[in-house]
Amino acid sequence: MSDCIFCKIIAGEIPSFKIYEDDDILAYLDINPFTKGHTLVIPKAHSANLLETGDDRLATVMAGVRKVAAHLKAALPCDGFNIMQNNGAAAGQTVNHLHFHIIPRYRGEELAFKAHPGDMAGLQALCGRLRMA
């Protein structure tokens, strides 16, 4: 897609800190890292987000995410990692080319993903409404 910044990275039109590439995916360092080694994994074929990506392509990308995450864990090394994937501006998606964030985590280094205790009755009602056939 001509106006997509990640397609431009794939095409080599803008530089990136590439750490892995094969026929289907590309992995490179996020230029605004949450933690040391924060990496993005993207499919080479443009699709905007999770819902616009077919199952086969998604499976390929996820296998790549796993491969790159295993490499980062050993090579950094880090103690763990989070996978994040934003869909839509309301969820914080700023680049509309499917991408998975691999966010390395280090023991003792806080990163705020703030949870709060759930209301059990509310969860029960929501579960009843959302349960899939």
Q: How far apart are CA 57 and CA 42, in angstroms?
A: 11
Q: How many CB atoms lie within 10 A of CB 108?
A: 6
Provide the minimum distance between the beta carbon of 7 and Zn ion in the complex, in angstroms, as a whole number: 3
Do the bridges between strand 39-43 and strand 25-29 make them parallel or antiparallel, or are there none, so unpaired? antiparallel
Binding mask 107-126 for ligand AMP (x = CB under 6 A): --------------------
Decide if 25 contacts 41 (C-beta within 8 A): yes
86 touches ligand AMP (CB under 6 A): yes
5 touches ligand AMP (CB under 6 A): yes
Residue listed under structure tokens 């095409």: 11
Provide the minimum distance between the beta carbon of 97 and Zn ion in the complex, in angstroms, as a whole number: 3
Residues forming the site for ligand AMP (CB under 6 A): 5, 16, 28, 30-32, 40, 86, 92-95
